[in-house]
Amino acid sequence: MTTNHPGTGTGEAIGDASSSTSLSLASVLAEPARRTPEALAVLEGRERVSYGELWEQVRGHAAALRGLGVATGDRVALVAPNVADFVRAYYAVQTLGAVVVPVPVLLVPEEAAHLVSDSGAKVILGHTSQLELARGCAERTGASLVTLGSRGSERSDDDPPSLTELAEDVEPVSHFVTRGPQDPAVIFYTSGTTGKPKGAILTHLNMVMNATVNAFDANDTSSSDWVLGCLPLFHVFGQTVSMNTTFRAGATLVLQPRFDPLQALELIREHGITHFNGVPTMYTRMLEVAPPEMRLPSLRLCISGGAALPVSVLERFNERFETQILEGYGLSETSPTATVNQPSIGTRAGTVGHPLWGIDVEIADPDSERIELLPRGSRGEVVVRGHNVFAGYLGNPEATRAALVDGWFRTGDIGVRDEDGFLSIVDRKKELIIRNGYNVYPREVEELLLEHPELAQVAVVGLPDSTRGEEICAVAVHATLSAGDTDQSVSDRVVEWAANRLAAHKYPRRVVFTDELPLGPSHKVLKRELRERIIREEQQASQN
């Protein structure tokens, strides 16, 4: 039996339904292509692609992939920055009913090879700007390398095939493959802050529903909106909240291949960007570089996620650009959005808002093996259930059983829901510092330290201490450094200042300065790396 799908053409069968109910992430792009083919879908530099053109290109890429042997259910690694070729390749894989394995372009080949080998990907789609990484990954895994984008004039017989060129010489497939709602669509690898990255399996239901509720329930997104896509598309935040949500609403996505704060501000002004999605470091950097006279009258909505946004940054950004930042919360395992401040329900600075439509978020006893929910106002582990919760960790049933308990996903984050239902994230359970037997949550200390005028960025970590178990250390970036000041003199002032504002077991006894905080692919501060670096430097100093 053949089935016609919206915007897919003749109904020629190229895949079998896994159940009588079908759902495909490819429909997120196919639907606006059918409804508004002339509308602008993607703008990247000088390249402007309408929905009709983009969908035709995607179907051509899918035909080329099929010619290379990619079939329904196969895993395909995608190594590309925020360019139009990422979009074409991503939806081409979905059109075939295959599974995308995004590879962060900031990884080294050894790290990327783990993702490819663990996922079982047999094909790597590598953008020409990332060929060194893609080649290194292919060499280490034996996967076939296929390039994306223009190869230029310098070519050799040893060049891998180009999907971009192959797609120009084949007849596009007529429609996307039917998939079941619970079939895998994307495998995202966790950041690895607590160990080796694990592959979180997100289904078509996860991805389509998260894009839908982000577009139409959490926010009032329309086809007239312009969204700046500077969050990495290889990360679940950028992929769902920027790319898929934009296309679900039939809006326009303006891509920035690599985030640059001043260029981002110029793009907002030049194109009349209405939506900006970012992580806290992006908001901080844009505040730092914005010319005093710059105004952004079109920017009406900003979403912040990925890490805790200091209230001071939120308030300064809102005032400076006359807009509204809505802070949200989620993880790779929750597609990602679980909660967000929603104007229709109410917003509250310093919180991550309420659960999205169809999602439950509660606080549970973090020390219980079962899910024991706690009353409002209690501090405990954030647990999530709903259409956004992933299907499990690829090839890791033990980790899956530990994460999915009694129908809930255990996030590992510590939070509180107040009487009005607003969720506040206190910290990562695994980043908890225990000093002299007292629990210290780095988020609380960081929030306070960011109020100090001499500090621009702060990350708080626990260092081993033979007497107290752990000692609190703040790693900071200078906001200003006056003539005659040294790192030590500023450190002394900050420690004294914090001691007058925090309990004795909470304030940092050390403040270490660095030029910049190390960030992971999703722009989260790599606290484990910071901690290990400080310990290593101390050991080296003691030996000299």
pLDDT tens digits, residue range 438-492?
Answer: 778 788 899 889 999 999 999 999 998 877 888 999 999 999 888 888 999 999 9
- 393-405 average pLDDT score: 97
Q: Is the dihedral of CA 237, 213, 210, 82 positive or negative?
A: negative
Question: Where would I find the H helices in 277-396?
Answer: 280-289, 311-321
DSSP annotation string for 25-92: TTHHHHHHHHH-TTSEEEEETTEEEEHHHHHHHHHHHHHHHHHTT--TT-EEEEE--SSHHHHHHHHH
Quick one: pLDDT band at residue 16, thresholds 50, 70, 90? very low
**Average pLDDT score, the chain:** 91
CB-based burial label for 98 (10 Å; 0-12, 13-18, 19+)? buried
Quick one: pLDDT band at residue 195, thresholds 50, 70, 90? low
Quick one: pLDDT band at residue 435, thresholds 50, 70, 90? confident
For 497, the enclosing helix (H) or strand (E) is helix 487-499
Quick one: pLDDT band at residue 194, thresholds 50, 70, 90? very low
In three-state secondary structure terms, 330 is strand
The answer to whether residue 377 scores a pLDDT higher than 70 is yes
The answer to whether residue 246 scores a pLDDT higher than 60 is yes
144 is written with which tokens?
Answer: 């076939």
Preceding peptide of 518 cis, ω within 30°: no
Q: What is the DSSP letter of 248?
A: H
User: Which range among 97-111, 173-187, 276-290 has the greatest average pLDDT?
Assistant: 173-187
Q: What is the DSSP letter of 519?
A: B
Rounded to whole angstroms, how far apart are CA atoms 402 and 399?
Answer: 5
Cα atoms in the 13 Å half-sphere on the side-chain side of 421: 13
73 close to 100: Cβ distance less than 8 angstroms: no
pLDDT computed for residue 191 by the predictor: 59
The answer to whether residue 209 scores a pLDDT higher than 90 is yes
Cα 270 to the center of its chain, rounded Å: 25
Name 278's Cβ contacts closer than 8 Å, sequence gap at least 6: 230, 231, 302, 303, 304
Q: Assess if CATH 3.20.20.70 describes domain 432-543.
A: no
Q: Domain 41-178 has what CATH class?
A: alpha beta
Residues 488-515: tens digit of each pLDDT: 999 999 999 999 988 788 899 999 999 9
In three-state secondary structure terms, 147 is strand
Q: Which of 59-63, 187-191, 214-218, 355-359 has the lowest mean pLDDT?
A: 187-191
Residues 273-282: tens digit of each pLDDT: 999 999 888 9
Q: What are phi and psi of 22, to 5 degrees?
A: -120, 150
The answer to whether residue 8 scores a pLDDT higher than 60 is no
The answer to whether residue 166 scores a pLDDT higher than 80 is yes
pLDDT computed for residue 163 by the predictor: 97
Quick one: pLDDT band at residue 524, thresholds 50, 70, 90? confident
pLDDT computed for residue 13 by the predictor: 38
Quick one: pLDDT band at residue 230, thresholds 50, 70, 90? very high
CA distances from 276 to 34, 95, 170 (A): 26, 28, 37
Domain ranges across the chain = 41-178, 204-429, 432-543
Q: Domain 204-429 has what CATH class?
A: alpha beta
pLDDT computed for residue 6 by the predictor: 35
CB-based burial label for 390 (10 Å; 0-12, 13-18, 19+)? buried
Residues 99-136: tens digit of each pLDDT: 999 999 988 898 899 999 999 999 999 999 999 999 99
The answer to whether residue 3 scores a pLDDT higher than 50 is no
pLDDT computed for residue 152 by the predictor: 72
The answer to whether residue 42 scores a pLDDT higher than 60 is yes
- 7-18 average pLDDT score: 40
- For the question of whether the overall pTM of this predicted structure is more than 0.85, the answer is no
41-178 and 204-429 in the same fold: yes
76 close to 154: Cβ distance less than 8 angstroms: no
Residues 307-320: tens digit of each pLDDT: 788 899 999 999 99
492 close to 499: Cβ distance less than 8 angstroms: no
